[in-house]
Homo-oligomer: A and B are copies of this chain.
Amino acid sequence: MPPRPHFYFWKIMNNFYGVIKMKASSERLRSRSLEAKIMTAEEAASLIKDGMIVGTSGFTPAGYPKEVPMALAKRAEKENLRITLYTGASVGDELDGTLARAGAITKRIPYQTNDSIRKGINSGQIEFVDLHLSHMPQMIRYGFLGKLDVAIVEAVAIREDGGIVPATSVGNTPVFIEMAEKVIVELNESQPLELEGMHDIYTPENPPHRKPIPITKTADRIGTTYIPCNPEKIAAIVLTSRKDSVRPLAPVNECSRKISEHLIEFLDHEVKRGRLPKKLLPLQSGVGNIANAVLKGLVDSPFEGLEFYSEVIQDAVFDLLDSGKMTIASGTSVTPSEEGLERFYKNINFYRDKIILRPQEISNNPEVIRRLGIIAMNTAIEVDIYGHVNSTHIMGTKMMNGIGGSGDFARNAYLSIFATPSTAKDGAISCIVPKVSHVDHTEHDVMVVVTEQGLADLRGLSPRERAREIIQKCAHPDYRDALMEYYKKAVDLSGSAHTPHILEEALSWHINFLQKGRMI
């Protein structure tokens, strides 16, 4: 990508006396009066006091602030400084990682994927509240999560009226800006100005005044291209050109490819049975390698005119848009790999009218998801023989990442699909178990389970029927007999109860793994 002149519109000049003079370009900072708020990250960080509730931009490692959190972490190493940290979802290590390692986080909401945060959560250092991503913004507006002191948000530009043009994610930034006492903006020149116009910012009113969200098609734009912000709230502007720490994407492996094949075959079958339109319905897909494989599979599928109404726009979405198979992609963040990000920026004018970035309150909104009839594809950590899904806890106790948006989508979807490899840890763990060790998605919300072994269609099946279907279609052959044995024994001992279980043995596979390193 050729360097563009406006990427260099500001200069940071460090003079001999260590005094830093900074100037933002008038394209990035469009209000002269706000120029006085430009300061260093350290100065901005000093606005944050011990015990404060801080909300930041960022959803996946995209569009999150970096300079101020790092400056804050440095302070926390020297002084007593612990904050409650709210974000959109996961964010990059400069934010979650540095603050966690500095011991600066007491509470974290609503989602994370960072090793250091996770360690804190699973050792009692950090209290983590695992919320549906669409619930959090309204809970903040309702006053259920306390009073937000400071918002730290990354921006591409600040408008003359104070309006914030976000970077590659929207997430909870609108509600944080609305509800925080003070707003700190990191104006990031590494994010191209061409992002402006891709966002669609709409905030529902609180009940009893809420109106229908006027989206009836994936492509509908209903709001502004910037986040309204009272300029008097902007307490600091920090200039930076630090890039997002995007994540690499593993190549599609055999297991993910098979899952993708089963899924596409199923969707094709549904079209043939008249239960799905030819061009399907808008797709939602979780993040990660299975999700990427499924989307990549669609590139070579017979489907045309696809739409994407999801959270995160990953590399494979660019493939679908490039191939013409997909016409529109709506999400709350663009999170490609490093190569993907380069590709995105290089062709940003091609993607501009095909990608919409919405607040997570809208991208994940039950109202819109149910109305549009989303096909929701999410991943599970483990699934039990009755179709309950665990997507958050390792062996029932340790937090992995969080429920994220999977519940928002699965619960309200036209089709709710969960995918997982049939085994983990080189076969020591069966991802199909007698009883999941934690439930995030109940039997009432899971229509289809798919592993590399096959696909179980659970619609209209009772628990006893589901058990036979899941064991036969989805379980790994190494575990199939043991699962069937558990099921049959449970039927006998429970007198064929609605959901046969042997309570003494229901969690024994997990206990085995913890004690012996193998589930059976």
Contacts and interface: CB of A to CB of B under 8 A. Distances in A.
Interface of A: 107, 109, 121-124, 127-132, 135, 139, 142-146, 206-208, 210-214, 216-217, 273-275, 277, 281-282, 365-367, 370-373, 388, 393, 395-399, 403, 407, 411-412, 414, 437-445, 447, 459-462, 464-465, 490-491, 494-501, 503-504, 506-507, 510-511, 514
Given A127-B464, A208-B281, 10 more contacts: A122-B497, A144-B447, A208-B217, A367-B371, A397-B494, A398-B498, A441-B442, A442-B442, A503-B510, A504-B511
A441 B143 CA distance: 23
A143 to B, nearest CB: 5
A294 to B, nearest CB: 20
The 3 closest A-B pairs by CB, nearest first: A207-B373, A124-B496, A212-B212
B396 A503 contact: yes
A407 B442 CA distance: 10
Among A123, A212, A275, A395, max chain B CB count under 10 A is at A212
A84 to B, nearest CB: 9
B440 A444 contact: yes
A491 to B, nearest CB: 7
Nearest to A132: B444
Q: Give this chain's copy count.
A: 2
Given A128-B498, A444-B403, A496-B123, A142 B275 contact: yes
A495 B414 contact: no
B107 A462 contact: yes
A70 B251 CA distance: 62
A393 B498 contact: yes
A124 B462 CA distance: 10
B397 A498 contact: yes
A273 B143 contact: yes
Which DSSP category, helix, strand, loop or mixed, fits chain A's interface? loop
Nearest to A388: B439
A212 B207 contact: no
25 contacts: A109-B460, A122-B497, A123-B497, A127-B464, A127-B465, A144-B459, A207-B371, A208-B277, A208-B281, A210-B372, A212-B216, A366-B412, A395-B503, A396-B506, A397-B494, A397-B499, A397-B500, A399-B498, A399-B499, A411-B411, A437-B501, A439-B442, A503-B507, A503-B510, A503-B514
Contacts of A370: 210, 365-367
Given A212-B213, A366-B367, A503-B395, A122 B373 contact: no
A459 B282 CA distance: 33
B373 A210 contact: yes
A506 B507 contact: yes
A498 B366 contact: no
A111 to B, nearest CB: 11
A132 B446 CA distance: 12
Contacts of A443: 130
A199 to B, nearest CB: 22
Contacts of A145: 459-460
B396 A499 contact: yes
A124 B464 contact: yes
A268 B17 CA distance: 59
Among A146, A211, A438, A498, max chain B CB count under 10 A is at A498
A207 B281 contact: yes
Contact of A397 (B124, B127, B497, B504): B497
A516 to B, nearest CB: 13
A129 B498 contact: no
Given A143-B275, A461-B129, A498-B393, A216 B206 contact: no
Contacts of A396: 499, 501, 503, 506
Nearest to A281: B207
A498 B440 CA distance: 14
Contacts of A501: 396-397, 437
A32 to B, nearest CB: 37
Contacts of A127: 461-462, 464-465
A366 B364 CA distance: 13
Given A145-B460, A412-B366, A442 B440 contact: yes
